[in-house]
Amino acid sequence: MRCYVTDESRHLLGVTTVKELLIHDYDDIIEEFMETNVIYVNTLDDQELAAQQLQKYNFLALPVVDMEERLVGIITVDDAFDVIQEENTEDIQKMNAMLPTEKTYLKTSVFETWKSRFPWLLLLMVSATFTGSIITGFEEKLKALTILTAFIPMLMDTGGNSGGQASVTIIRAMSLGEVDFRDYFRVIWKEVRVGLYCGLTLAAVNFIKIWVVDRMLFKNDEITLLVDLAICMTLVVEIVFAKFIGCSLPMLAKKIGFDPAVMSSPFITTIVDAISLLVFFGISSAVIPGLS
């Protein structure tokens, strides 16, 4: 059991244990055997920091000091437990386009639940109309080769999922303290390579699937080798882009003081959707004769 040592005005000087006090003689001076390197938190620190410190050092309690480093209380590991779970819930809500709610699910009213979900849905809905206008811009080309439209959901979803994976991984790693802004280029270099692997493997599967199923089995004549190639090239490029954006935005958000958790899947998806369509129409126009 830990005992904190202070001076008369309660300034925190050190820490010792009941065991140490028992094994020392009555005339020993505490200052001589106490540990002076005390881990503590400040009254104004975020509760998350206290929880992280408790977890990091495997302590059962942590002293809390005021601005003049006077001991004003302790925080114990069971408080920290609840804090960590609340913070996790909050992160998960933010990562999935919701404003955090205070109460448990069944105690939150329908109206409150609506209030926590509506703002992000609205913002993302409006953003998605821009994606729609990209399609309108390529309307004429889509009329010339309507089969391309059929691949839009697959390309949009795969891009969104790829970006979401990267953003969620980085947000979690940052919140656990495993990654910070100093690792920016290391993270990007890693994600770009993961994106390349994912893109190439998915493109390979897709290339064969389109040729065998859509072309040979369903005898869709609109599908030529070049159409198949354009779709698969789009996959590779958009996935690398998605991974790059997915890991960059949360790190940049944190750097400029925003909560990285909001730079997560739904938001990334909206951006990646637009990029995927531009890449798709760009590559198709360049590769498929008669579309340029």
Query: Interaction with a copy of itself in 166-185: which residues (CB under 8 A)?
Result: 168-170, 172-173, 176, 178-179, 183
Q: How far apart are CA 188 and CA 166, in angstroms?
A: 10
Given a contact cutoff of 8 angstroms between Cβ atoms, the answer to whether 41 and 50 are in contact is yes
Q: Which spans in the chain are helix H?
A: 18-23, 30-33, 47-57, 77-95, 110-137, 139-144, 147-150, 152-175, 184-209, 225-255, 265-287
- Say whether residue 95 binds a copy of itself (CB under 8 A): yes
Q: Which amino acid is at 232?
A: C
- The interface region with a copy of itself, picked from 24-32, 63-71, 101-109, 283-291 by CB under 8 A, is 101-109
Q: Tell me 60's DSSP state.
A: S
**Residues between 199 and 238 that touch a copy of itself (CB under 8 A):** 201-202, 205-206, 209
CB of 7 or CB of 197, closer to a copy of itself: 197
Q: How far apart are CA 199 and CA 186, in angstroms?
A: 20
Which residue in 11, 24, 70, 117 binds a copy of itself (CB under 8 A)?
117
**Residues between 129 and 158 that touch a copy of itself (CB under 8 A):** 129, 131-133, 135-136, 139, 142-143, 146-147, 149-154, 156-158
Q: How far apart are the first and last CA of the chain?
A: 76
How far is C-alpha 42 from the geometric centre of its chain's CA atoms? 28
Tell the smallest beta-carbon distance from residue 24 to a copy of itself (Å).
Answer: 21
**Residues between 232 and 291 that touch a copy of itself (CB under 8 A):** 265-266, 269-270, 273, 277
CB of 9 or CB of 58, closer to a copy of itself: 58
- Say whether residue 17 binds a copy of itself (CB under 8 A): no
Given a contact cutoff of 8 angstroms between Cβ atoms, the answer to whether 171 and 95 are in contact is yes
Given a contact cutoff of 8 angstroms between Cβ atoms, the answer to whether 199 and 283 are in contact is no
Tell the smallest beta-carbon distance from residue 175 to a copy of itself (Å).
Answer: 9
CB of 38 or CB of 95, closer to a copy of itself: 95
- Say whether residue 121 binds a copy of itself (CB under 8 A): yes
- Say whether residue 106 binds a copy of itself (CB under 8 A): yes
